[in-house]
């Protein structure tokens, strides 16, 4: 069980409860302060029940098991701090060092979490809205970050992307250089801190790589995971629960812990899609789109609703290259 909670230091934003401390090479910042209005459920999105567990539980368990992660900072809505502390204790998590209250915007919450990672050389930012975080994706992202200083997970756009204005097609965007950004995203802590310092506070950032791009830092891209879906709309919950139910049929007890670490997802992909082919049903979801030259991201290309096909190779691919 985690050590007894001791009072955390008070920041300008909120108080935090700390489980432990000390310097770590990699600290994960789990962002879970969203209201989840688009999900159509009351209460905190992070604690919406998905597959019989709070949504945030899946990411917590995955980060707890990730060998590269030495500490976890959890950022939730102010009213949910106590609830999250109770969940951490119930799950027996030992890597969680802080549960802090988030801010109005996602970037505000990340910045608050960053304030509790001062002893780390690297930070790994992940959205709790992506419950199926795999150990392999964490490893790839951290390894590339250690090599380059900044790295994100992303999937290449598979559908034709249209610019639309006033309900009419205004143009077709070549998709060869378009990748849909995911989390985790990993950075040298000092680079992310500098990017926050230079970022105009009036601007909203939908992901952390955008801050570094504006600061002139080149961001590397690693192959993401088609199962690393983001829970935004009710349909996303239905998809996630289909995956979890398929994993239950294959893996039996402990499915929450097994699914959160990515194990069993490949084996259950056909069952979750209800198809015997690797080109089964398509799933629509929203992602940040980045333009990519080999191995690096460049300017943002806006956001797009996408349809991505489940299945395919799980081997890492370099942008513009082969598995």
- pLDDT tens-digit map of 118-150: 889 999 999 999 999 999 999 999 999 999 999
Q: What is the pLDDT of residue 291?
A: 65
Report yes or no on 177 lying in a domain. Answer: yes
**Beta bridge mates, 71:** 27
**Where is mean pLDDT largest: 18-22, 168-172, 294-298, 308-312?**
168-172
Q: What is the pLDDT of residue 293?
A: 59
Q: Any idea what the CATH number is for the domain that residue 86 is in?
A: 3.90.550.10
- Of the two residues 257 and 282, the one the predictor is more confident about is 257
Report yes or no on 6 lying in a domain. Answer: no
Domain count, the chain: 1
Q: Which of 30, 230, 35 is CA-nearest to residue 116?
A: 30
Instruction: Give the chain's mean pLDDT.
Output: 79
Report yes or no on 323 lying in a domain. Answer: no
User: What digits encode the pLDDT tens for the residues 197-221?
Assistant: 999 989 999 899 999 999 999 999 9
Q: What is the pLDDT of residue 43?
A: 73
Helix (H) or strand (E) holding 257: helix 255-260
Least confident of 44-48, 88-92, 195-199: 44-48
Least confident of 20-24, 131-135, 231-235: 20-24
Q: What is the pLDDT of residue 281?
A: 31
CA-based end-to-end distance of the chain: 41
Task: With cut-offs at 50, 70 and 90, classify the pLDDT of residue 74.
Answer: very high
Report yes or no on 2 lying in a domain. Answer: no
The mean pLDDT of 247-262, rounded to a whole number, is 60
Task: With cut-offs at 50, 70 and 90, classify the pLDDT of residue 252.
Answer: low
User: What digits encode the pLDDT tens for the residues 282-315?
Assistant: 333 456 766 665 556 654 444 444 433 334 344 4
Task: With cut-offs at 50, 70 and 90, classify the pLDDT of residue 10.
Answer: very low
Report yes or no on 56 lying in a domain. Answer: yes
The mean pLDDT of 180-194, rounded to a whole number, is 97
Report yes or no on 316 lying in a domain. Answer: no
Question: Quick check: 152 and 123 in contact, CB under 8 A?
Answer: no
Q: What is the pLDDT of residue 259?
A: 56
Task: Determine what percent of the chain falls in helix, strand and coil, rounding each to the nearest 5.
Answer: 30, 30, 35
Report yes or no on 9 lying in a domain. Answer: no
Question: Which residue range is the domain that position 271 belongs to?
Answer: 15-309
Report yes or no on 3 lying in a domain. Answer: no
Cα torsion angle, 176, 178, 179, 185, sign? positive
């Amino acid at each position: 069980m985690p050590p007894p909670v001791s009072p955390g230091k008070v920041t300008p934003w909120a108080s935090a409860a700390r489980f432990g401390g000390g310097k770590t090479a990699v600290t994960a910042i789990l962002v879970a302060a969203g209201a989840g209005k688009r999900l159509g459920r009351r209460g905190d999105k992070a604690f919406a029940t998905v597959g019989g567990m709070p949504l945030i539980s899946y990411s917590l368990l995955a980060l707890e098991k990730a060998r590269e992660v030495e500490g976890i900072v959890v950022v939730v809505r102010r009213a949910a701090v106590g609830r999250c502390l109770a969940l951490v204790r119930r799950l027996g998590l030992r890597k969680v060092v802080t549960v802090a209250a988030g801010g109005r915007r996602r970037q505000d919450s990340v910045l608050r979490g960053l304030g509790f990672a001062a002893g780390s050389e690297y930070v790994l930012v992940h959205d709790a809205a992506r419950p199926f975080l795999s150990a392999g994706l964490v490893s790839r992202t951290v390894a590339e970050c250690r090599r380059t200083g900044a790295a994100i997970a992303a999937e290449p756009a598979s559908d034709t992307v249209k610019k639309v204005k006033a309900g009419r097609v205004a143009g077709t965007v070549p998709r060869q250089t378009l990748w849909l950004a995911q989390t985790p995203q990993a950075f040298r802590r000092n680079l992310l801190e500098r990017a926050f310092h230079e970022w105009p506070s009036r601007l909203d950032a939908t992901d952390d790589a955008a801050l570094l791009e504006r600061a002139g830092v080149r961001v590397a891209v690693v192959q993401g995971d088609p199962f690393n879906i983001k829970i935004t709309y009710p349909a996303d919950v239905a998809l996630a629960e289909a995956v979890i139910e398929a994993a239950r049929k294959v893996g039996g007890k402990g499915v929450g812990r097994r699914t959160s670490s990515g194990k069993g997802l490949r084996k259950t992909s056909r069952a979750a899609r209800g198809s015997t082919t690797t080109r089964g049903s398509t799933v629509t979801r929203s992602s940040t789109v980045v333009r990519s030259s080999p191995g690096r991201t460049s300017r943002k290309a806006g956001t797009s609703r996408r349809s991505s096909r489940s299945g395919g190779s799980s081997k890492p691919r370099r942008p513009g290259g082969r598995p």
